Amino acid sequence: MFINYAHRGASAYAPENTMSAFRLGVEMGANGIETDIRKTKDGIPVLFHDANLLRLAGVDKPIAALTYTELSGVRINAPDGASSDTIPTLGEFLAFVKNTTVAIALEIKAEGLEEDVIGALAAFGVSDRCVVTSFHLHHLEKIKALDPAQKIGLLTDTVNDAVLSELKCIGAEQICPKADVLSAELVRSLHAAGFSVRAWGVRDEETMKDAYRCGVDGMTVNFPDRLRLYLCQHGSPDDAAQNRGSSAY
């Protein structure tokens, strides 16, 4: 089943990586949610992409320099500035997705999060529908060491034999190439090597369509409603089934 991942939630319309964005993504028909994890000064895993609050909140302070209590007063604005929301914890997010059927992609953005991630996924009973991702292999190696059954995927803009060999060595199930390096031939070769393929860096509808035509198993998009519509119009029956309430890892 093709996975339509709402990238940081429905981040084209709502404040990214907030509960508003995650809920909106599900409402728009996404059958997956992708988000990023960092840790506060007092060790609370929170969902935020950047190391610093400046871009999204106008506050020039690093996430890692603030306690969760200090961070909880920060507001993140929607792209149009019409709404805002707070920064959620990983636990708050998993409590929400536990009551859905969506797939989850959790990207580790900072050091020392692996045990927190594995523990939280187990506590909420959602390990089997999550893939833990990173641009850095050492995070993925630690995840597999803690739980060999946990699915992992490498985010990359370079796909070559050396990368694939390293992924095979650590038992990775997924590779996530940047959309602009994809081709149908590359995706076929990655499938033949035993990997599922998720595209990232899908910035517009043309890139979205190109990635789908290459045969990827899923992609992260800021506009899950537009991908849902495209799948209904052009996808296979299995892909379109997500819009009737079905979902899969």
Confidence of residue 237 (pLDDT cuts 50, 70, 90): low
pLDDT on residue 148: 98
Mean pLDDT of the chain: 95
Residue 243 has pLDDT above 70, yes or no: no
- For residues 168 and 142, the answer to whether their CB atoms sit within 8 Å is no
Instruction: Give the percent of the chain with pLDDT over 70.
Output: 95
In this predicted model, what pLDDT tens digit does every residue of 103-126 receive, in sequence order? 999 999 999 999 999 999 999 999
Which ranges in 171-248 belong to alpha helices (H)? 184-192, 205-214, 224-234, 237-240
pLDDT on residue 85: 97
Angle, helix 137-146 to helix 161-170, in steps of 10 degrees: 20
In this predicted model, what pLDDT tens digit does every residue of 39-67 receive, in sequence order? 999 999 999 999 999 999 999 999 999 99
Taking the C-alpha atoms of residue 26 and residue 189, their distance in angstroms, rounded to an integer, is 32
Is pTM beyond 0.75 here?
Answer: yes
Residue 246 has pLDDT above 50, yes or no: no
pLDDT on residue 241: 52
Domains of the chain: 3-244 (3.20.20.190)
